[in-house]
Amino acid sequence: MSKSAVVEIAELFRKALDAKLSLQMLEMGQRWIELQNKIDANVIALLAEIGDSKPNPAQIREMQRWAEMREQVHAELSKYQDYVGSVIDNGKEDSAKLGIQSAKETLSAAFSSAGIMGSFNIVPIDSVEALSAILAKGAPLQNLLAAAFPESWVHMSSALIEGIGLGLGPRETAKRAFEGMNYGFDRILTITRTEQLRAYRNGSILQYRESGVVTGFKRLSARDDRTCMACLISDGERYNVADEFADHPNGRCAIVPIVAGVDEPEWENGTDWFLSQDPDKQRAMMGKNYYEAWKDGAFELNDLRRTAHSDIWGDSPQIAPLKELV
């Protein structure tokens, strides 16, 4: 089944957003490494001062060098938190505008491909009212982001004390400490990416709802090794124009409009696409245990998807636990 121009444009904008976010994540990672490099000297100095002695955790926390390191970590994390806040705020606005623009071009393509001189209401891309609704900060997610920074210190300090207690060498102990510190960083990346993806989708949905010509929309999942099975199985689902569009953290699903007077866009749905892949790719995407249970007839592909609710992330498509399926 050939893709319509509408689907191709939706995919083009989604890939552009994905490429932009990938570069952004790379820059954030580089800055995180720079942060750790600044702290490294104090960590090594602490370990050198301890040497072969075996202080207990309370004694370690009473050391002047520990206090200096803790203050430095907190100061560097505070600066990084300010940087991340700026990245999210600016990124959300840019992503929302890109979402509005993608919806406009998709609607134009829908009419053009149908040979219709159609018109629709346009949301001004710099509309303060429109953007403020899209960019409103969700308190639970902001709280989760704020908690990620002290969590980095908690995991780092625990790993340091554990490494000292085990008598590991300075480099190995420092390595474990920074690996612990990365616990918070992984969450920071997820929140930063998810907030911008959500702003993009909300920008698109706003334009579709205000257009006066969109009666609904369909979910279009990504098609690669990173696509989760819940999204793939949900690919092609129809929604009313007033429905909420749920996606999970880091979700990359796009929205394709159903336009009044224009043939509904069609494409090979995610389930059929998955069934056309070779067994090795299917196993890699599903995971070994799910794949083997599915091949043994324990469940149908449609049974995999369920909707989960989180007070932080909202509703999202998720994979059902294997124990529930078998």
φ, ψ of residue 62 in degrees (nearest 5): -90, -5
Instruction: Show the domain range for 251.
Output: 221-326
- Final residue in a domain of this structure, among 179, 212, 245: 212
Q: Cα dist. 12→77, 87, 103, 302 in Å?
A: 36, 23, 12, 28
Residues 10 and 44 in one domain: yes
- Final residue in a domain of this structure, among 169, 195, 212: 212
Residues 145 and 90 in one domain: yes
Q: How many independent structural domains does the chain possess?
A: 2
Residues 273 and 146 in one domain: no
**Distance between CA atoms of residues 114 and 47, nearest Å:** 70
Residues 164 and 307 in one domain: no
Residues 10 and 59 in one domain: yes
Transcribe 208-264 into DSSP letters: HHHHSSEEEEEEE---STT--HHHHHHTT-EEETTS-----TT---EEEEEETTSPP
The per-residue pLDDT string of the chain (326 residues; one tens digit each, 9 = 90 and over) reads: 456 889 999 999 999 999 999 999 999 999 999 999 999 988 999 999 998 888 899 999 999 999 999 999 999 999 999 999 999 989 998 999 999 999 999 999 999 988 888 899 998 877 756 666 666 655 566 777 888 888 899 999 999 999 998 888 888 999 999 999 998 898 899 999 998 998 999 899 999 999 999 999 999 998 888 899 999 999 999 999 999 888 888 888 999 999 999 999 999 999 999 999 999 999 999 999 999 999 999 999 999 998 888 777 778 889 999 999 88
- Final residue in a domain of this structure, among 169, 184, 212: 212
φ, ψ of residue 238 in degrees (nearest 5): -100, 145
Q: How far apart are the first and last CA of the chain?
A: 34
Residues 56 and 204 in one domain: yes
Residues 195 and 56 in one domain: yes
